[in-house]
Amino acid sequence: MDKIKKGVRLDHISKIYQDPKTGKDFYAVKDTSLTIEPGSFVTLLGPSGCGKTTTLRMIAGFESPDEGEIYLGDEPINALTPNKRDTAMVFQSYALLPHYNVFDNVAYGLKLRKVPKDEIRERVMHILDLVELTGMEGRMTNQLSGGQQQRVALARALVIEPSVLLFDEPLSNLDAKLRVSMRTEIRRIQQEVGITAIYVTHDQSEAMALSDQIIIMNKGVVAQIGTPQEIYYHPVSEFVADFIGEANFLRGKMTGTENGLAVLDVEGDRLAVAPREGMRVGEEYTVVLRPESAALSDEGGLPCTVELSCFMGSYQNYHVRVGNTLVKLAENDPRNKRIYRVGEQCHLTFAPDTVHVL
């Protein structure tokens, strides 16, 4: 597939639906602008109902935006029907043709496009090889496992050589283990073909494992866009921090600075953290602490009481109370570390630069 790669751009896109119960209009997607680079793998991630599917369906052309314009490369595509767009979609339900075999399912889109028979055969066999289904082309789709059906669905989308591949929770019907291996497959194939992929999920580990960029959505608006690392280490809000991985929130007023660190009063104790720009003495801040960044110690840090101490093999899981705040932490490789028991008084420590100030 030696096509010119195309990106996607949403320019102030909104979609208004009517609430069937109240009859009132509401924004399912509100004033969303974003740029998806050609050849990148981007996921739309967010809680149920936040507008992920609606956004994807507008890009595919199954819904039209009420405001704004969608571009594929430089071309505005709002007016194009789905089959006139250079996109293909892989659905959660696979939507395979039940009375067709694997070959005919994959060939279907090419037949519709009146591609010559010889070329169809060549392209279908090539794609089946790519998704590792060679030899299965004569099987009916009801004789396939869930993972194999998912591969047929993927092959069917890839074979028409779209510039952009759209996925709406394509792995949610598979068991946990297959989901992990199929997502690796999807990433491999996307990189091999060099196609732009937009992938909807509400599974944060899937988003982290797959994406160049993650777009976090909340209630119809974009909450943050960034690489998995940017979003994990530098969330812009409590919502994002909580949605990606586990997060603890320590709240305190800034009392001063010391050796380039910001000093906060957290639950009556001093806490020094790497500052972010614009922090001011006297203001309240929230500090995001990831469970794996913290440790327990006999001294230093914030005094705390152990409320839960659980051996998990690769880590020791603790819940400790710092004043009124419950903090969850995971100490890795606990084999040769001192284990704190429930009820013990100790200290919560972490390096000042492992936290993020909101």
Ligand X SMILES: Nc1ncnc2c1ncn2[C@@H]1O[C@H](COP(=O)(O)OP(=O)(O)OP(=O)(O)O)[C@@H](O)[C@H]1O
In whole angstroms, give the CA distance from residue 261 to residue 22. Answer: 52
- 32 pairs with which residues across the strands? 13
Q: Which is nearer to ligand X, 52 or 290 (CB)?
A: 52
Contact flag: residue 28 with ligand X (CB under 6 A):
yes
> Of these partners, ligand X, Mg ion, none, which one is at the site of residue 28 (CB under 5 to 8 Å by kind)?
ligand X
As measured in angstroms, the least distance from the Cβ of 84 to ligand X is 22
As measured in angstroms, the least distance from the Cβ of 53 to ligand X is 3
Tell me the three state secondary structure of residue 178: helix
In whole angstroms, give the CA distance from residue 333 to residue 260. Answer: 32
> Of these partners, Mg ion, ligand X, none, which one is at the site of residue 190 (CB under 5 to 8 Å by kind)?
none
> Of these partners, ligand X, Mg ion, none, which one is at the site of residue 48 (CB under 5 to 8 Å by kind)?
ligand X
Which of residues 52, 156, 179, 290 is near ligand X by CB under 6 A? 52
Q: Which is nearer to ligand X, 156 or 202 (CB)?
A: 202
The tokens describing 194, both together, are: 């060099």
- Asked if residue 161 lies in contact with residue 88, where contact means CB atoms within 8 angstroms, the answer is no
Binding-site size, ligand X (CB under 6 A): 12
Contact flag: residue 48 with ligand X (CB under 6 A):
yes
As measured in angstroms, the least distance from the Cβ of 37 to Mg ion is 23
User: Please, what sign has the CA dihedral across residues 133, 40, 173, 10?
Assistant: negative
Sequence length of the chain is 358
**Long-range pairs for 73-78: beta carbons < 8 A, 24 or more residues apart:** 73/4, 73/6, 73/7, 73/38, 73/163
User: Please, what sign has the CA dihedral across residues 158, 52, 9, 63?
Assistant: positive
Closest residue to Mg ion using C-beta atoms: 53
Q: Which is nearer to ligand X, 45 or 348 (CB)?
A: 45
Q: Which is nearer to ligand X, 1 or 221 (CB)?
A: 221
Contact flag: residue 54 with Mg ion (CB under 5 A):
no
Q: Which is nearer to ligand X, 243 or 318 (CB)?
A: 243
User: Please, what sign has the CA dihedral across residues 164, 168, 173, 178?
Assistant: positive
> Of these partners, Mg ion, ligand X, none, which one is at the site of residue 295 (CB under 5 to 8 Å by kind)?
none
Which of residues 123, 202, 290, 356 is near ligand X by CB under 6 A? 202
Q: Which is nearer to ligand X, 92 or 317 (CB)?
A: 92
Q: Which is nearer to Mg ion, 170 or 291 (CB)?
A: 170
Contact flag: residue 53 with Mg ion (CB under 5 A):
yes
Q: What share of the chain is helix, strand, coil (3-state, %, to 5)?
A: 30, 35, 35
What is the four-CA torsion angle of 329, 334, 338, 340, rounded to 10 degrees?
Answer: 40
- Number of Cβ atoms within 10 Å of the Cβ of 251: 16
Q: Which is nearer to Mg ion, 205 or 332 (CB)?
A: 205
- Asked if residue 70 lies in contact with residue 11, where contact means CB atoms within 8 angstroms, the answer is yes
The one segment of 2-10, 45-53, 151-159, 314-322 that binds ligand X by CB under 6 A: 45-53
Q: Is 321 exposed, middle or buried, given 0-12, 13-18 or 19+ CB atoms closer than 10 A?
A: middle
Contact flag: residue 54 with ligand X (CB under 6 A):
yes
Contact flag: residue 49 with ligand X (CB under 6 A):
yes
Contact flag: residue 224 with ligand X (CB under 6 A):
no
DSSP state for residue 140 in the 8-state scheme: B
As measured in angstroms, the least distance from the Cβ of 165 to Mg ion is 17
The one segment of 25-33, 49-57, 239-247, 320-328 that binds Mg ion by CB under 5 A: 49-57
In whole angstroms, give the CA distance from residue 88 to residue 73. Answer: 15
Residues 93-132 that bind ligand X (CB under 6 A): none
* Contact set with Mg ion (CB under 5 A): 53
* Contact set with ligand X (CB under 6 A): 17-18, 28, 46, 48-54, 202
